[in-house]
Amino acid sequence: MATIAPERPQVRRSPTAFEALREHLKTHPDDRLVHTHKWDVSRSDIYFEDTWQPIFKEMREAGPLHYIPESPFGPYWAVVQHKAIQHIEALPEIFSSSWEHGGITILERLSDEELAARGAERRELPMFIAMDRPQHTGQRRTVAPKFTPSSITDMEAEIRQRTGELLDTLPRGEVFDWVDKVSIELTTGMLAILFGFPWEDRRLLTFWSDWSGDTELATVRELDEMRWGILQEMLAYFQSLWIERTHQDGGEDLISMMIHSDAMNQMSPQEFMGNLILLIVGGNDTTRNTMSGIIHAFDKFPDQRKLFEENPDLIPNAVQECIRYQTPLAHMRRTCTEDTEVFGQHVKKGDKVVLWYLSANRDEEVFDNADKLDITRENARRHIAFGYGIHRCVGARLAELQLRVLLEEMHKRRMRVHVAGDVERVRANFVHGFRKLEVEITSF
Ligand code: HEM
């Protein structure tokens, strides 16, 4: 069949929306979100300043979950213990992920009245992460074959080659930003391989995924406005790729695979687009921030870096431990669909329930000396950074592969990475990671 290559839309690439908002907040500090409750862990300054640990510790000691009656995102339950998060995620009928109930982050969905007041229409893209059974099951099935152990193994050689090539270009004896040069480059490269995305445009994937990152915003509405603008750009671009792939046979990339899969008839075009965007966002910030987190954690715990250098057999466990330690998504949210009791607390129908993975992965009832990185930790795999239950991360194996390959290729090159300059964290309560991490490379 002839290949049709429609013209791809031009996309505005510069992240001006974020910068404009940051500038706005500098001159209008009163527009920042106001948090009054001492346990309102939706405040983003504690993640930006890395001071969240004692707050969650105090909360865990006081119980598995707590009601926070007031926050800029409305009242919510903060679930802070490992066992309570697993319990809730094992009951997806009672604790819904559905966007119709409110979706998967602490952000509030705009009400019909609010939408009407601004003359706007409801504008949401359906994604299976924000669906309940049975829709969730069918749609997850359209992408799952790309993430089986054998499909992941097929991708290893290319990921290893690109990782090695990139590491070989890094400067020695010079300070540079690991986030930009390594973490972003490797994760967007991996997504470009997964989607068969035009290589020269791969940084668009980074830009698009960043819309979910920052919550240092004046109002929830502004965030919504900005997100929608960026989503429209992504949509136009992916629509052109979709048309292109529909007319091609035999492509092995994820887009072609979805288009030509039997389960595709379970999805509307809107859902198809929504799920592509889910994969971009899901696979981008998360793996990227673990790649930065590893370097930061090794620098903070040099005994562990030394262990890694002396014993590369520890790499697979080190990957698990680094994911636990970093926990690149701080939370996921559920909405309660019927009055119920959880560990003695009465949760009501309609209540917002926020699962703080960041806290569960430091739960001393499960992890000894939980604030320490320990790459020999026997139960590192028990972390719940990928969630638990029917929504457990579909890309977990791919993320683990990329992180293992990165550590193996660094080890092969006897590369030691030191933090040597600015460290700037993301100011957000959802994505937990680094905006900048200045480092210098030496050898071991
Ligand atoms: C779901 C974390 C990498 C795609 C999730 C969830 C978490 C998560 C917490 C929600 C689980 C729940 O609600 O129970 C992470 C972390 C990663 C990572 C920590 C890296 C270290 C990836 C990658 C991809 C991906 C590489 C794909 C390229 C998805 C998708 C879902 C998901 C599609 C929705 C699954 C569902 O609802 O059934 N991830 N993720 N993630 N992730 Fe990941």
Cβ of residue 59 lying under 6 Å from some atom of ligand 1: no
Nearest CA to ligand 1 atom 31: 393
CA of 430 to the centre of ligand 1 (A): 13
Quick check: is 193 in a domain?
Answer: yes
Helix (H) or strand (E) holding 138: helix 135-143
Q: Give the C-alpha separation, 200 to 382, whole Å.
A: 38
Q: Give the C-alpha separation, 97 to 114, whole Å.
A: 22
Pair 95, 334: CB distance under 8 Å: yes
CA of 131 to the centre of ligand 1 (A): 14
Nearest CA to ligand 1 atom 15: 386
Quick check: is 8 in a domain?
Answer: no
Q: What is the per-residue pLDDT for 42?
A: 94
Could you identify the atom of ligand 1 that is nearest to the CA of residue 131?
A: 37
Nearest CA to ligand 1 atom 38: 391
Quick check: is 4 in a domain?
Answer: no
Quick check: is 2 in a domain?
Answer: no
List the structure tokens of 210: 């960043």
Pair 333, 104: CB distance under 8 Å: yes
Mutate to test the pocket of ligand 1, among 386, 397, 401, 430 (most ligand atoms within 8 A of CB): 386
Q: What is the per-residue pLDDT for 215?
A: 42
Q: What is the per-residue pLDDT for 123?
A: 64
Cβ of residue 399 lying under 6 Å from some atom of ligand 1: yes
Number of domains in the chain: 1
DSSP 8-class letter at 361: T
Quick check: is 3 in a domain?
Answer: no
Tell me the residue range of the domain where 234 lies: 16-443
Q: What is the per-residue pLDDT for 170?
A: 98
CA of 278 to the centre of ligand 1 (A): 9
Backbone dihedral region of 196: left (phi > 0), alpha (psi from -120 to 50 degrees) or beta?
left
Pair 125, 277: CB distance under 8 Å: yes
Cβ of residue 392 lying under 6 Å from some atom of ligand 1: yes
CA of 30 to the centre of ligand 1 (A): 35
List the structure tokens of 31: 């527009």
Question: What's the half-sphere exposure (Cβ side, CA atoms, 13 Å) at 141?
Answer: 13
Terminal Cα distance for the chain, rounded? 54
Mutate to test the pocket of ligand 1, among 273, 393, 397, 403 (most ligand atoms within 8 A of CB): 393
214-253 per-residue burial string, b: 16 or more CB within 10 A, e: under 16: bbbbeebeebbebeeebbebbbebbbebbebbeebeeeeb
Where would I find the H helices in 144-202?
149-169, 178, 185-195
User: pLDDT tens, position by position, for the chain (444 residues)?
Assistant: 334 445 655 554 444 445 555 655 666 665 667 788 999 999 989 999 999 999 999 999 999 999 999 998 899 999 999 999 999 999 999 999 998 888 898 987 767 777 677 666 666 778 999 999 999 998 898 889 889 999 999 999 999 999 999 999 999 989 999 999 999 999 999 999 898 888 888 888 887 776 644 444 434 556 566 667 777 778 888 888 888 888 877 778 888 888 887 777 667 878 888 888 888 888 888 999 999 999 999 999 999 999 999 999 999 999 999 999 999 999 999 999 999 999 999 999 999 999 999 999 999 999 999 999 999 999 999 999 999 999 999 999 999 999 999 999 999 999 999 999 999 999 889 999 999 999 999 999
CATH code, domain carrying 237? 1.10.630.10
Quick check: is 10 in a domain?
Answer: no
Quick check: is 207 in a domain?
Answer: yes
CA of 214 to the centre of ligand 1 (A): 18
Distance of CA 80 to the CA centre of its chain: 19
161: Cβ–Cβ under 8 A, 6 or more apart, which residues?
none
Cβ of residue 209 lying under 6 Å from some atom of ligand 1: no
Quick check: is 6 in a domain?
Answer: no
Pair 441, 416: CB distance under 8 Å: yes
Q: What is the per-residue pLDDT for 213?
A: 43
Distance of CA 216 to the CA centre of its chain: 17
Q: What is the per-residue pLDDT for 118?
A: 62
